[in-house]
Amino acid sequence: MIKYPAALKPGDTIAVSAPSNGVEEGGHFLVHKAKKQLEEKGFNIIIGDTVWTQENSRSCSPEKRRNELMDFFEDPNVKAIIPIWGGEFLMEILPYLDWERLQSLPSKWILGYSDISTLLFSYTVLTGHASAHGPALLDIAAKDLDPLTNKWSEVLGSEVGSTIIQTSSEQYQSSWEQAFANPVTGFYVDTPTEWKALKEEAATFSGRFIGGCIDCIMNLTGTKFGDLESFNLENANDEGLIFYFENVELSVTQLYRALWQLRQNGWFENVNGILIGRPVTKETENTYTYEDALRDAFGDLNIPVIYDTDIGHLPPQNIIVNGAYGTVKYEGGKGVIETVFK
């Protein structure tokens, strides 16, 4: 049975950590600005020591990252943990975490994407606690947020039994150039959003959400941190899953190889539908296309595959709650995600 955190509300404490990448000194002003703007929204913000350092593509040692994260999980005053952003090597801390202790502690929201989905995936699969795949701390710090990004506080502020409705965006941000030039000011959307289907003109499917950044979670296959079979048996055996992915660095040929690997490990045996976010990399390699990769991976499965959705590194993005029961409706290039906390 999925366990949900207490609803997050203004006045609560949010801890900010860097379990993957930290922030170099030149970017510290962004952390201060984000902290101030979230405090103006009514939250108490604690910035962990790991946030302020970055060396060799990681904030600090696995032990230090683990210790800070466990301290925040243990602290009853901390109601949510929102990493500053993603990175490269979050998987290093997984063996150091006390998973039995995490399972016994009250559920606590973790929100993030990219490499943070490595932690989100394992946290939900191994402990049965819900987690939230969505914008990072620096993404939610702008004073004026777009409707999708602004959903983060509603999702994390929901009680057990609540239903959250999210729609596809009207436009998305195709490049980070303006956002990097004007940090912590929100996204600069410029391109019409169109969800696409691999086969169906319209589709509706339900199940329990699980997924993340495929670049990262593919590395959990064959490890105890990707024990999807046990998660299915305990939480989704009867209802099935909705798998979601985002791809940030894999070429189209690498994407197919990754999906093939996950399928051979049985990850799609109890899946009712698949959502795939907008790709960041080139959509064609020689003559092999993005659609070719998806068709080769899923074409013979009798399930809906919806792609170019609002998930991942080309924002804005829907907040997908790992472990929650959901229904996805797609038609005419648009989508609706209904999430039920049950």
**Number of domains making up the chain:** 2
Is 30 inside a domain boundary? yes
What number of helices (H) and strands (E) belong to the chain? 10, 18
Residue 198: what pLDDT? 95
Residues of the chain with confidence (pLDDT) below 70: none
Is 8 inside a domain boundary? no
Is 165 inside a domain boundary? no
Residue 141: what pLDDT? 87
> What is the spatial distance between Cα 139 and Cα 187, in angstroms, rounded to a whole number?
8
Range of the domain at 302: 171-340
Q: Are residues 33 and 123 in the same domain?
A: yes
Query: Of 103, 127, 160, which residue sits at a domain end?
Result: 160
Q: Are residues 183 and 314 in the same domain?
A: yes
- Residue type (1 letter), 324: A
Burial of 206 (0-12, 13-18, 19+ CB in 10 A): middle
Q: DSSP letter string over 8-65?
A: P-TT-EEEE--SS----GGGHHHHHHHHHHHHHTT-EEEE-GGGG--BTTBSS-HHHH
CATH number at residue 38: 3.40.50.10740
Q: Are residues 94 and 205 in the same domain?
A: no
Q: Are residues 214 and 322 in the same domain?
A: yes
Q: Are residues 237 and 131 in the same domain?
A: no
> What is the spatial distance between Cα 50 and Cα 61, in angstroms, rounded to a whole number?
9
Is 317 inside a domain boundary? yes
Residue 38: what pLDDT? 94
Cis preceding linkage at 279, omega within 30: no
CATH number at residue 313: 3.50.30.60
Is 69 inside a domain boundary? yes
Q: Are residues 24 and 131 in the same domain?
A: yes
Residue 272: what pLDDT? 97
Is 2 inside a domain boundary? no
Residue 137: what pLDDT? 94
pLDDT tens figures, 168-216: 999 999 999 888 888 888 899 999 999 999 988 899 999 999 999 999 9
